[in-house]
Chain A
Amino acid sequence: MKAFIKYISCYLPSNKLTNADIERKFPEWDSEKIIKKIGVKSRSIAAENEFTSDIATKVVNKLCVESKIEKSEIDYLIVCTQSPDYFLPTTACIVQNNVGLSTNCAAIDINQGCSGYIYGLSLAKGLIISRIAKNVVLVTAEMYSKHIHEMDKGNRSIFGDAATATLISDNGLYSIGEFVLGSDGSGAQNLIVKNGAVKNARTKEYGEPNDNFLFMNGPEIFNFTSKAVPELINETLSKNEEDLDSVNSFIFHQANTFMLEYLRKKINIPKDKFIVDMENYGNTVSSTIPIVLKNRINLNLNENKILLAGFGVGYSWGAVVINKK
């Protein structure tokens, strides 16, 4: 018994934030050079009254139309998000009702960021192989824009909002291979929204970026990534009995192009096999990998083996090789 990625759909909110918008907002910031290095030209940003359940609902509806799966056939819904509508209930239950999925469909959220798609695939594979579910829909739906302070020019330049839905089943396009997963909570403070949950209440201060908003220690995250990712890739290749030559393409979490290029060089992945595709989206957290994978599938390239790797907030990381049937 194997589990397969059968179909992927993507949804991008219609509001865009362009580099010109950022340069207008922060005229004193020499943004051009940095933005060029980050490699993003435009990001989708959710509207003020648009929330994670909304974009998750839209993308699941889109998946049902595009993949032609009947809503009644979906029996497990996983929503990966760090910007849920509420503490409780789980966003997935709201989406189940909005979409009109069967009440026999299980629904659960997972809280994971840049490694979320890989973690989600690992859970979906387990559900299929153990015959707990026949058709799992894995949604990644993230709105970091809701966590970022208006004046935080760095994070506003990097992150974009998006949602994706992947249908995982016992047949399909790419079989899901062996996983390598990991976590290290010693880095928890380096990418965090400290206030607003149970431990620290949200305060009333607003003026400057503060603990009510997303904080990212860029250098520390970069440092962690440069140490963890090369090892992650080597372990994943060896666990799947592959090597740098036998894999057709490498899709990493699209954090920023500068970091991607640094990692590519460090691991020695040839440029033509290393996919960078974030110019029009920004870093959409758990959605970057499925967006790039969807775009690759649309290109109809004969890519038999693709390595997917996610890493970041937590810290957490994970990678897998997928194989064309």
Chain B
Amino acid sequence: MEKFIENFKKQLEDIDTELTPDVDFVNSDFWDSLTAVTIQMMVEDEYGLKLDIRQIYSFESLKEFYDYIKAHQ
């Protein structure tokens, strides 16, 4: 989970953004459709999983997102 948060942070404009597993990233200030695309590519590069963008928008927290990746890898 920690590694996932690190990978996630690297895609943000401000890589020092504070993130916890509970964060509702889709409704955060840093989130937009361009960020969504880089997160999609990060998941594909790092976890070998090609997600639909709409899928990414459905997660309510980073933990839920990470659990989904683990379950579908």
Decide: B32 and A37 in contact? CB cutoff 8 A: yes
Decide: B41 and A34 in contact? CB cutoff 8 A: no
Chain B 24-68 against A: per-residue CB contact (8 Å), 1 yes, 0 no? 000000001110111011001000000001000000000000000
A34 to chain B minimum Cβ distance, whole angstroms, is: 6
Decide: B41 and A223 in contact? CB cutoff 8 A: yes
B-binding residues in A (CB < 8 A): 33-34, 37, 218-219, 222-223, 226, 258, 262
Decide: B34 and A223 in contact? CB cutoff 8 A: no
CA of A33 to CA of B32 in the docked complex: distance in angstroms? Answer: 9
* Cβ-Cβ contact count across A and B, 8 Å cutoff: 23
Decide: A222 and B37 in contact? CB cutoff 8 A: yes
A256 to chain B minimum Cβ distance, whole angstroms, is: 8
Decide: B32 and A223 in contact? CB cutoff 8 A: no
B52 to chain A minimum Cβ distance, whole angstroms, is: 9
A223 nearest CB neighbor, chain B only: B41
Beyond A218-B37, A223-B40, list 13 extra A-B contacts (CB 8 Å): A34-B32, A34-B33, A34-B34, A37-B13, A37-B32, A219-B40, A222-B37, A222-B38, A222-B41, A223-B37, A223-B41, A223-B44, A262-B38
Decide: B34 and A37 in contact? CB cutoff 8 A: yes
B28 to chain A minimum Cβ distance, whole angstroms, is: 13
CA of A226 to CA of B37 in the docked complex: distance in angstroms? Answer: 11
A221 to chain B minimum Cβ distance, whole angstroms, is: 9
CA of A226 to CA of B50 in the docked complex: distance in angstroms? Answer: 14
